[in-house]
Copies of this chain bind each other. A is one copy, B any other.
Amino acid sequence: MAKHKPISSDIAWSTTDKITVKGLDLCQDILGKVSLGDMAFLELTDRLPTPQESRAFNAIAVALVEHGLTPSAIVARMTLAGAPEAMQAAVGAGLCGLGSVFVGSMENAARLLQQALPDKNQSIDIGALAVQIVDRELAAGRNIPGIGHHIHKPIDPRTPALFAVARETGFSGQYVQLMNALAEEAGRRLGKSLPVNATGAIAAIASELEVPWDVVRGIGVMARAIGLVAHVLEEFRNPLARQAKAMIEGQATAHHLA
């Protein structure tokens, strides 16, 4: 067997009397002083947030916690119905669906923004950049991620709420402008109103916070874990999984016996 690189992790380690997390002393510097959202920021970025960063980051994380009866909530509840002794696995199963389709559009929006504007402070004509990106994406047959919504019309009500927080905390910079410009240009080209949705707003603010685009999905995963715990707890007290299964199976069986 070949020698291999020693195993190491810089996240956390312990001695008999001290626990170090991201370079801080868990007991002296963190417990009772750092909130859960700021701890998440520390875990993702290796440092504690400023008060402004904290407010903006908590707002986008909170926006991702709860979406009602999404597929992942239904998955968690149906899994619990079969294995009520393992609520952790019900939450785990629910997370497995947070992939390219649902959480992916947020990741794609963040990637598009960050690749178009690698340095958020560079001086650039945002309107011209938006035209160029929409040209390229539409020519390639791709959708612009982060715009439009199938339920929330004319606008997604989360977008103005999140962008207000961004303004108040000093994070309404060029990524937010570019996201808005993309929505406007895409709407103009496609002849319909396609305002920035929550996904696009979160992607823009995460980019302002300098969260790398391939870390953005992680915010969604951690936030939704909180929401899925709530669904699992409601399923214990007010179950719906069996009825939902009966409705689905009933309709499918009726189709075959018709």
The answer to whether B245 touches A74, judged by C-beta atoms less than 8 angstroms apart, is: yes
Residues of B contacting A226 with CB < 8 Å?
Answer: 36, 39-40, 43, 222, 225
Contact of A122 with B by CB under 8 A: no
Contact of A190 with B by CB under 8 A: no
The answer to whether B96 touches A238, judged by C-beta atoms less than 8 angstroms apart, is: no
Residues of B contacting A96 with CB < 8 Å?
Answer: 79, 83, 86, 88-90, 92-93, 96
The answer to whether A252 touches B240, judged by C-beta atoms less than 8 angstroms apart, is: yes
The answer to whether A7 touches B229, judged by C-beta atoms less than 8 angstroms apart, is: no
Query: Pick the contact of A240 from B7, B27, B165 — CB < 8 Å?
Result: B7
The answer to whether B14 touches A151, judged by C-beta atoms less than 8 angstroms apart, is: yes
Q: How many copies altogether?
A: 4
0/1 interface trace, chain A 236-258, chain B, CB 8 Å (1 if under): 10101111111111111111110
Contact of A170 with B by CB under 8 A: no
Residues of B contacting A162 with CB < 8 Å?
Answer: 31-32
Given A8-B255, A44-B233, A255-B8, answer yes or no on A62-B158 (Cβ-Cβ < 8 Å): no
> What are 19 A-to-B residue pairs whose CB atoms are below 8 Å?
A4-B242, A5-B243, A6-B251, A8-B256, A9-B69, A14-B253, A26-B63, A31-B59, A32-B164, A70-B245, A72-B79, A84-B100, A85-B85, A88-B98, A88-B221, A93-B96, A93-B97, A215-B233, A247-B248
